[in-house]
Structure 1
Amino acid sequence: MLKGIFPVLPTPFCADGSIDEAAMARIVDFALASGVDGVVFPGFASEVDELDTKERAALLALVVKRVAGRVPIVAGASAPSVEEAIAHSREAMANGVSTVMIQAPKSIGVSAEAVASFYRTIADAVSGLEIVLQNAPAPRGSDLKPEVILEIIKDNPAILYVKEETLPAGPAITAILKDKPPHLKGVIGGGGARYIIDEYGRGACGAMPAVEIADVHVAIDRAFRSGDVAKARELYMRTLPLLVIQANFRMAFTKYVLTRRGNLTNFIARAKVPPMDRHDLGEIDAWLALVADLFSAAPVPRAVGAAE
């Protein structure tokens, strides 16, 4: 069962805009050193829409090789068409990854019948596939209602998980788990772990945040599961300011923090995200310094660094 912290890995780029494979390997190593329960690649936080087919395939193969079976991998297989989603799913299977996360394209609408047909076509085309149905909020996703999701998954035993990240996600998680079919193994939280305590309190089996503070997210997960909810809340409270900033700058924030933690040399992003100025970097550094004692993997230096 997928359970715990499954960060979505970013895609690092060289100064010339090409893929930095050595840095990708370091990111995988950092995630594993943080104690994660699995990794996700590619996903929205990987800038998947900015990767061509060859880059996407090569990076997935690199992640699989680097992980070397130590933790489960969830491969992103979302695409604008069912044919492309099938191709991505087959690529994952060829790399030994049987669990894929798929968001239905907005073009097919939000009716249970149409979305169910989309997932059923993929399951029928790729034998042995295990699907995580990703339900993202508008405008990126279709913002499917819990009753629609339940209708979609009830006759599709290949859909074993739902990643629920609509806003607010909590009531949706409660509704899905209350009436879930027997084959659905769990609901996973999203939203960059900004709501992880609420999600876990409602029965989510895990979370898929970004990777830059994965070691602290693992600590939150372990504290909550051990029954020390007070400790989980304290860790969450201390890191929440960083997650609020991350919501604005997305991949660039993740990469900047990874540079501060010694895993990357730049925070170049292909995706169109707001630029961070010196004040933004100073704020990030200040908050990192306040939580540096929580980091167990590749600790952040307490010096301000880039914003000086």
Structure 2
Amino acid sequence: MKNIRSIIWIKKEDRLLQGLSLTGILPVLPTPFRGDGAVDLPAMERVVDFALACGANGLVFPGFASEVDDLTADERATLLRTVVARVAGRVPVIAGASAPSAEEAIAHSRDAVAAGVTTVMIQAPKSVGVGAEAVGAFYRTIAEAVPEISIVLQNAPAPRGSDLNAETIHAIVAGNPSITYVKEETLPSGPPISAILKGKPAHLKGVIGGGGARYIIDEYQRGACAAMPAVEITDVHVALDRAFRAGDVAKARELYMRTLPLLVIQANYRMRFTKHVLSRRGVMDNDVVRAKLLTFDDYDVAEIDAWLDLARDLLTGEGAHG
């Protein structure tokens, strides 16, 4: 006879299996700042409008690409409410709830639920270690404290993440029906995606690619259900995703090749690059960042703009020619 806790988890699993489905392009939104360094809520709304106009299948906020480590708890909660209100139910919103402790992740998850979001993405802190028992306990603590949520387990590469292997992820997911997706972005991401999908627990709906879409074709070929790139060329990523799903892999590869130079540069300058491109596209007013990132010189700007001009015909979203 099953104990009461087992029955609760089984009922919860049944509910989550009927929940949110994540597929396609799910860009991670940046945090716009004003010239004085304060968050810019009107610009946040414009970024949301841009992503939706580009055809995004869902939006992620906050994430690493949102400079989440440089936001206060109040700022991230206010920004998330702004995103949710602007989306107005048109696409799913996935809230980042990663934190240095389970208690803080629980608080962020509760903020997400209060804002109307029930899917949260959480990376276990490195302090928990890499053992299935310890990391599994971390996620169970959160799931039991906030039973309304479903979780995207984010597996990031070192030094930021813990580089969990597929066997460990299987063990963690198997013991927690609240974990319905894995975002796999260790390097290279392809083999782990294949390994996670092989023999996955029934309640794990899919694996989402990361790495800024720099490996998206390989990830999709291996069965990834979605990708979470930065937002600045969402229109091209949506076109790539649609071509691939329609069976036109050649077209998807062409779009990938034409934008890969931009993604290579983005890997170095991260959020500053995203904000520069969004400024060039008429969506943001500046490339102000709080994170400690490399700065551009005139050669960098000229190179980025040259590659952006070469891809201009692909940029179909609102503000693309701003």
TM-score for both structures, normalised by structure 2: 0.93
Give the superposition deviation at 1:299.
5.2
- Pair 1:151 & 2:171 matched: yes
How far 1:128 moved relative to its partner? 2.1
Q: Does 1:217 align with 2:237?
A: yes
2:8 is aligned to none
Per the alignment, residue 3 of structure 2 pairs with none
Q: 5 Å matches for 1:267-306?
A: 267-298=287-318, 300-301=320-321
- Deviation digits for residues 116-136 of structure 1, max 9, x if unmatched? 000001111111210000000
Please state if 1:207 is matched with 2:227. Answer: yes
Matched, 1:117 2:137: yes
Residue from 154, 175, 194 that aligns with 1:134: 154
Paired with 2:321 and 2:178, the residues of 1 have a C-alpha distance of 45
How much has 1:179 moved relative to structure 2? 1.7
Counterpart CA distance in 2 for 1:50 and 1:206 is: 27
1:240 corresponds to which of 251, 256, 260: 260
Is 1:89 matched up with 2:113?
no
Work out the CA distance in 2 between the residues paired with 1:162 and 1:267: 31
SS of aligned partner of 2:224: coil
Name the SS of the counterpart of 1:133 in structure 2: strand
| 2:50–2:319 contact (8 Å) kept in structure 1 | no
Name the CA distance, whole Å, in 1 between partners of 2:115 and 2:248.
38
Give the aligned residue type for 2:298. R
The code of the aligned residue for 2:291 comes to A
Q: Contact 2:30 / 2:66 at 8 angstroms: preserved in 1?
A: yes
Deviation of the 1:155 alpha carbon: 1.3
Amino acid at match of 1:113: E
Give the letter aligned to residue 118 of structure 1.
F
For residues 104 and 187 of structure 2, the distance between their equivalents in structure 1, rounded to whole angstroms, comes to 28
Aligned: 1:49 with 2:69: yes
Give the counterpart letter for 1:242 in structure 2: L
CA distance in structure 2 between the aligned counterparts of 1:80 and 1:301, rounded to whole angstroms? 41
User: Cα–Cα, structure 1 residues 299 and 264, in superposed 2: closer, same or farther, change >3 Å?
Assistant: closer
Partner of 2:183: 163
C-alpha distance in structure 2 between counterparts of 1:268 and 1:13, whole Å:
6
* Counterpart contact for 1:288–1:300, Cα < 8 Å: no
**Which is further off, 253-262 or 122-131?**
122-131
Q: Which amino acid aligns with 2:144?
A: D
Question: How far is the alpha carbon of 1:301 from its aligned partner?
Answer: 4.4
Whether 1:58 and 2:50 are equivalent positions in the alignment is no
Structure 1, residues 254-273: CA drift from partner, whole Å, max 9, x if none? 00000000001100100011
1:261 corresponding residue in structure 2: 281
In the alignment, which of 184, 188, 192 is matched to residue 208 of structure 2?
188
Q: Deviations over 1:90-130 (max 9, x none)?
A: 11011110000000000010000000000001111111210
Aligned Cα root-mean-square deviation (Å): 0.9
Q: 2:15 aligns to what? A: none
Which deviates the most, 290-299 or 157-166? Answer: 290-299
- Aligned partner of 1:282: which letter? A
Residue aligned with 1:281, SS = helix
Structure 2 equivalent of residue 306 of structure 1 = none
2:165 and 2:106 map into 1 onto residues whose CA distance is: 25
Q: Deviations over 1:3-26 (max 9, x none)?
A: 000000000000000011111000
Aligned length: 302
In the alignment, does 2:126 pair up with 1:106?
yes
Q: Return the TM-score normalized by structure 1.
A: 0.97
**Corresponding residue for residue 197 of structure 1:** 217
Letter in 2 for 1:209: P
Q: One-letter code of the match for 1:102? A: I
* One-letter amino acid of the structure 2 residue matched with residue 138 of structure 1: A
Amino acid paired to 2:84: V
Q: 1:301 to 1:34 in 2, by over 3 A?
A: closer
State, as a whole percentage, how many aligned pairs show the same letter: 71
What SS class does the counterpart of residue 84 from structure 2 fall into? Answer: helix
What are structure 2's unaligned runs of at least 5 residues? 1-20
Question: Corresponding residue for 2:11?
Answer: none
Tell me the secondary structure at the aligned position of residue 134 of structure 1.
strand
Partner SS state of residue 161, structure 1: strand
